[in-house]
Structure 1
Amino acid sequence: MKVELRNLQIDDYKQLKNSMMNAYPELENSYWEEHHINKLLSLFPEGQLVVLADDVVVGSALSIIVPEKMAYRIHNYKDITGNFSFSTHTADGDILYGIDVFIHPKYRGLRLGRRLYDARKELCEQLNLKSIVFAGRIPMYSKYADELTPREYIEKVKKKEIYDPVLTFQLSNDFHEERILKNYLEGDTNSQEYAVLLEWSNIYYDDSPKLINLTKSVIRLGLIQWQMRSLNNLEALFEQAEFFIDAVSGYGSDFALFPEFFAAPLMADYNHLSEAVAIKELAKFTEAIRDKFQEFAIAYNINIITGSMPYQNGDHIYNAGFLCRRDGSNEMYQKIHITPNEVFHWGITGGDTIQTFDTDCGKIGIVICYDVEFPEQIRLMADQGMNILFVPFLTDTQNGYTRVKHCAQARAIENECFVAIAGCVGNLPKVNNMDIQYAQAAVFTPSDFAFPSNGIKAEATPNTEMTLIVDVDLNLLKELHEHGSVRTMKDRRFDLYELKKRK
C-alpha cells in the first residue's frame, strides 16, 4: 500500500465525498457539498488536508482560522462555520479550528488519523497560531445517557473505563477538554447532540512572529538491540518485531533500525541440513518479512530499516535488507563486502550497487556490517549527500564488534555524518554458525565542539536486549561542513587524487 499525505484539491471531491459518507453512516447528509469545499480551498487551502491510500482519498482534516474569543465561547457547529459559509475564517485569527476529520472505516487501524492530527499540529506551529481547538463528538454517549451525565461519561472515558472511538483517540493525541457544548451538531443522536471542546496548545507560539524554518532538522532514531531467542514460527518473529516497532514509534522515532540476520532463529527447523541449504530455506521467508514490515511502517508511521536477511535471486544468495518507508514505498539494499565466513558456510554473493536513499528526513545511507570497514564505499555515499548512515550488524565476539564500532566512528568523523549501528545479542542454540552474539547499539557523531567530545551521542548497555532512542540535529552537520574546526569533506586534495564508482 502507498500512503500519501497532502493538501486537498478540488479534483479529490468525489473520492472525498465517498469516504465521508462511509465514515458517517449514522448522520443524514453527512458530506460537504462541492461548493463548500471550493469555498474552503479559496479561503484557506493550506488548512485542508487529505490522506491517500494507493492514490485514493480515504481521509481528511478540514480547518479554518478563527479569533481566540470565538473559539472558546459557547457555540454550535453552525455558529463556528458561519452557517456553513466559513465567513468566520480570518487570517488574523489566533486559533486553528478543526471543522472535520474522518477516516474511511476500511482504512482505520493504520493510524492514518494520527497522521492527519500530526500534520495539523505542524501547520499550527508553522503558522504561529496559539492552539488547535475543535468540538469532538462522543458517539457512544447515547448508550450511557440514562445513567451518566456528559461530564461523568467523559471522566470514565479519560479513566479508560469506557471506550469512545472519537474522544479516546483525541485524548491520546495530547488534546484536553475545555468544556461541554450542548446542542452542538443537529441530528447527532449518538452523541445526544453533545460535544467536547478540545484544545492542543502550541508550546512554540511566539507573540512576536518570526520566519519559521519548515524543514525538519531534528531526527529521532530508534535502534533495536535484538535478543536472539528460539521462535516457533514466522508469526512469533512478527510479534516480537512489532513490540519494538510500537515502542520506538511511541516515542516519536522517525526510523527503526533492526540488526543483520535478526531472523536467524527461523533456521532452527533446518539445522539438520547443511548451512548452505539452511540459509536458502531462510530466504523463503524474506518477501513475507518485507511485506509485513511495510505494513508496520505504515501503521506505526515510521521508516523501518529491516536489518538484513538472505535474499535469493536465481542461483545466488545475497545478504540484503529493505528500507520500508512510512509512505508505503520500499527499496532493497545489499551487502557488498562479504566476510570469509559468509562465503565459506553460506555461499553469499556480494551486491554491486552503491547508493543512498531519499526519505522524508533527508538522504540516508545503509550498509551492512563488514561494509562499514571499507571507507571508499561510505565516502561515495557521503558525496551523494548522505547525512545519516545506518549499519545493521551481526558480530559473534567482542573483537568483531570492536572492528565495527571503531570503523563506524571513523566514518562519522571523516564523512561529517551521523552513524547509527545496531546488532543482535545473546545465544542461539540449534542454529549452526549462529551460536553466540555480541553487540552494543550506538549513535556516533563527528568530533567538533557542537558534538560530544568522544564522538559518541549515545550507547546501549552491551549484550542486553533493549532499545536506544536518540535525537540527531542535521543543522549541526551543515554548520560543521562550513565552519568546523576541520572540514574533511571540503579540504580534500582533488588535485592529487579522486574516488569514483566504476559503474
Structure 2
Amino acid sequence: MSSTIKKVALRNLQIEDYKELKKSMIESYPEMAGSYWKEDDIKKLLKVFPEGQLVIVADGVVVGSALSILVTENFAFKTKTYKDITGNYTFSTHNEFGDVLYGIDVFINPNYRGLRLGRRLYDARKELCEQLNLRSIIFAGRIPSYGKYANEITPKVYIEKVKKKEVYDPVLSFQLSNDFHEVRVLKNYLAGDSESLEYAVLLEWNNIYYEDNKKLINVDKSVVRLGLIQWQMRSLNNLDALFEQAEFFIDAVSGYGSDFALFPELFTAPLMADYNHLSEAEAIKELAKHTDAIREKFQKYAISYNINIISGSMPYLEGGHVFNVGFLCRRDGTYEMYRKIHITPNEVFHWGMTGGDIIQTFDTDCGKIGIVICYDVEFPELSRLMANEGMNILFVPFLTDTQNGYTRVKHCAQARAIENECYVAIAGCVGNLPKVNNMDIQYAQAAVFTPSDFAFPSNGIKAEATPNTEMTLIVDVDINLLKELHEHGSVNTMKDRRHDLYQLKKLK
C-alpha cells in the first residue's frame, strides 16, 4: 500500500487515461498474462456508455477502475459466460434501454490496496444505478481462493463458508461486504481463470429506489409533511362551533404545505355537554349521531384544503354497538374508516364500547400508512402486521387524562417506531372539560418518533409539542431514509426476525 498519497479523486474514464489504465490492469492481474483491455476496446466502451466507466486517480495516476455496460435483467440472469455477456469482448450486448448495470471489470492496483478505494468505486456504481433508475447491479465475481479448497468442498459449500467468514476470499468476501447477494454459481465463466477453476458467483445488488414505469406526475413523495393538532378541550355551543375550530387548524397546517392533518381521539367530546343529564352510555350514543356529519364535513375540508385528514376518533353506532372509530379523508375525496381494536376498561365500564375486528393499512398519495387509536399502540402485534404490509408512517390519535397514561402511549409509540423501522406520529387532547362526565381532565404532548439509527435523531424523537398547550406541530419525515434503513441500518429488526422460530399472522 502506498503511504504517501496526498489526493484521491473518482471520476469518469477518459481515453487519455489509457496508458495508466493498462499499467494498473496488468499489475492487478499478474496471474492472467495478457488480460488487459486494448485501447480500441476502451474507445468502444466510452462511445456506447461513457457514464458507466469510472476510475480512481491517486496523485494524478489512474490506480483503479470499474467498467460497466447496460443489459436487461433477463439477459443478465440467463447468460452464463463472460464471453457471452460482453458479446465476445465487443460490447455489442450493451443495450441503452437495459434496466441493469452489468459490471464487466473492477480492479485496484495492488500497490494501492488497503485504502478502501474499491469501496469508492462500488459506491459510485450504486449512485449511478440510482440516478439512471436501474433495477440493480449484476456481475459475476471470481472466487480466486477456491482452487485451494476444490479437492475438499464444492463451490456451493465454499460460498457458504465465505459468507460465515470461515474462509476468506479476496473477491467474494469484498462483494458480500458491499451488500451484494449471490444468485447462483456459474461454471466455465472466465476462460483462463485458473485460481477460480473458471467458477464464478453471479451477484446482485438491488436498487431500493427503482421505480417501474416511472411517473412524471403524481409520484409518491419522498419527504412527507405532517401536521399534528394538539386540541384544546373547550365548551362548544353546537356542531358548527366544532367545525369552525377544526377548519381553523386544517387551514393552518395546510397553509404550511402539510400532507396530513392528525386530530386526537374523541376530540368531539365537548358536544356531549348537551347530554350530561343522561348516563355516560346514553350520552356517547347521542354524540355518535354527529359522526356521519363530521365525516362528510372533513371530506370536504380534505378536498378544499388539499390535505389528507386523519379525523382522530369519535363514537359510531352500528348494530346496537358503540365503536370508537375515525376516518382517513383523502384529498382526492375518498375516505376509509378505521376502528379501535382494544377498548380500555374505562371505555367498557362507562360507555359500553365494543372493539373493532379489522386490521388494515391504507394507501395514500404519500405511501402506505397505518392508524391505531390510543390503547391500540400498546399492543405491538397490530403495528407489526401493518409494517409487514409496507407501512411507513403510523398515526396514533390518543386521549389520556393523566401523565402516567400519556407515558404509556409515548413509550409504546417510540418502541413501535424502532421495532418496525417506521415513523410514528401521535396527537392528543389537552386541558379540562367541565360539564361532561368521564371527560374531566386531559394530558398530552404531540410528537413524531423515529427509528434509532445514524440518519435519525439520537433519541428517536423528531419533534415534540409543548405539553398541555393548544398548538400545532409541523414535521417533515423522509421516507427514503426508511428505505435506506431497511437495507443498510446498524441493525435490521424487520429483516432479522427468526421466521423459523415464530410467525405473526392475521386471523381474519
How would you bin the TM-score normalised by the shorter chain?
A: 0.5 to 0.7
SS in 1 for 2:231: strand
Instruction: State the distance in 2 between where 1:244 and 1:495 align.
Output: 48
**What pairs with 1:474-489 in structure 2 (closer than 5 Å)?**
474-489=479-494
Instruction: Choose the corresponding residue for 1:241, options 239, 246, 259.
Output: 246
1:296 is aligned to 2:301 = yes
Bigger CA radius of gyration: 2
1:276 is aligned to 2:265 = no
**How big is the shift at 1:502?**
0.8
Q: Quote the residue 1:87 is aligned against.
A: none
For residues 109-136 of structure 1, what are the alpha-carbon distances to aligned partners after superposition, in whole Å with 9 as ceiling and x for unaligned? xxxxxxxxxxxxxxxxxxxxxxxxxxxx
Instruction: State the distance in 1 between where 2:309 and 2:320 align.
Output: 28
For residues 419-478 of structure 1, what are the alpha-carbon distances to aligned partners after superposition, in whole Å with 9 as ceiling and x for unaligned? 000000000000000000000000000000000000000000000000000000000000
Whether the 8 Å contact between 2:224 and 2:476 is mirrored in structure 1 is: yes
1:414 is aligned to 2:419 = yes
**What pairs with 1:344-363 in structure 2 (closer than 5 Å)?**
344-363=349-368
Q: Quote the residue 2:409 is aligned against.
A: 404
Code of the residue aligned with 2:318 in structure 1: it is: N
Instruction: State the distance in 2 between where 1:349 and 1:230 align.
Output: 27
Q: Quote the residue 2:431 is aligned against.
A: 426
Share of identical aligned residues, percent? 87
Instruction: State the distance in 1 between where 2:483 and 2:326 align.
Output: 29
1:385 is aligned to 2:382 = no
Instruction: State the distance in 2 between where 1:287 and 1:301 align.
Output: 21
Instruction: State the distance in 1 between where 2:421 and 2:320 align.
Output: 39
Code of the residue aligned with 1:305 in structure 2: it is: I
Whether the 8 Å contact between 2:421 and 2:493 is mirrored in structure 1 is: yes
1:442 is aligned to 2:447 = yes
For residues 121-163 of structure 1, what are the alpha-carbon distances to aligned partners after superposition, in whole Å with 9 as ceiling and x for unaligned? xxxxxxxxxxxxxxxxxxxxxxxxxxxxxxxxxxxxxxxxxxx
Whether the 8 Å contact between 2:220 and 2:367 is mirrored in structure 1 is: no
**How big is the shift at 1:496?**
0.4
**How big is the shift at 1:216?**
1.6
Instruction: State the distance in 1 between where 2:374 and 2:501 align.
Output: 31
SS in 1 for 2:358: coil
Instruction: State the distance in 1 between where 2:342 and 2:388 align.
Output: 20
Instruction: State the distance in 1 between where 2:246 and 2:404 align.
Output: 28
Q: Quote the residue 1:375 is aligned against.
A: 380
Q: Quote the residue 2:162 is aligned against.
A: none
SS in 2 for 1:386: coil
**How big is the shift at 1:347?**
0.3
Distance 1:212 1:405, change over 3 A: same
Instruction: State the distance in 2 between where 1:242 and 1:232 align.
Output: 16
Whether the 8 Å contact between 2:220 and 2:365 is mirrored in structure 1 is: no
**How big is the shift at 1:215?**
4.0
1:263 is aligned to 2:265 = no
Code of the residue aligned with 2:407 in structure 1: it is: T
Instruction: Choose the corresponding residue for 2:334, options 320, 323, 329.
Output: 329
Distance 1:490 1:311, change over 3 A: same
Instruction: State the distance in 2 between where 1:274 and 1:283 align.
Output: 14
What are structure 1's unaligned runs of at least 5 residues?
Answer: 1-210
Code of the residue aligned with 1:482 in structure 2: it is: E
Q: Quote the residue 1:338 is aligned against.
A: 343
Alignment RMSD? 1.1
Instruction: State the distance in 2 between where 1:381 and 1:433 align.
Output: 32
Code of the residue aligned with 1:332 in structure 2: it is: M
Instruction: State the distance in 2 between where 1:314 and 1:498 align.
Output: 34
TM-score where L is the length of structure 2: 0.57
Code of the residue aligned with 2:381 in structure 1: it is: E
Whether the 8 Å contact between 2:447 and 2:463 is mirrored in structure 1 is: yes
Instruction: State the distance in 2 between where 1:216 and 1:402 align.
Output: 32
Instruction: State the distance in 1 between where 2:308 and 2:216 align.
Output: 25
Instruction: State the distance in 2 between where 1:404 and 1:429 align.
Output: 24
Instruction: State the distance in 1 between where 2:267 and 2:407 align.
Output: 20
Code of the residue aligned with 1:328 in structure 2: it is: G
**How big is the shift at 1:212?**
8.8
SS in 2 for 1:400: helix
Q: Quote the residue 2:77 is aligned against.
A: none
Distance 1:485 1:463, change over 3 A: same
**What pairs with 1:300-319 in structure 2 (closer than 5 Å)?**
300-319=305-324
Instruction: Choose the corresponding residue for 1:453, options 424, 441, 458.
Output: 458
1:466 is aligned to 2:461 = no
Q: Quote the residue 1:498 is aligned against.
A: 503
Q: Quote the residue 2:233 is aligned against.
A: 228
**How big is the shift at 1:314?**
1.5
SS in 1 for 2:492: coil
Code of the residue aligned with 2:376 in structure 1: it is: D
Instruction: State the distance in 2 between where 1:235 and 1:350 align.
Output: 29
Code of the residue aligned with 1:216 in structure 2: it is: K
Instruction: State the distance in 1 between where 2:364 and 2:430 align.
Output: 29
Q: Quote the residue 2:101 is aligned against.
A: none
Instruction: State the distance in 1 between where 2:220 and 2:450 align.
Output: 21
SS in 2 for 1:389: strand
TM-score where L is the length of structure 1: 0.58
Q: Quote the residue 1:123 is aligned against.
A: none
Code of the residue aligned with 2:374 in structure 1: it is: C
Instruction: State the distance in 1 between where 2:267 and 2:319 align.
Output: 23
Instruction: State the distance in 1 between where 2:445 and 2:221 align.
Output: 28
Instruction: State the distance in 1 between where 2:337 and 2:272 align.
Output: 22
For residues 372-394 of structure 1, what are the alpha-carbon distances to aligned partners after superposition, in whole Å with 9 as ceiling and x for unaligned? 00001110000000000000000
**How big is the shift at 1:264?**
0.1
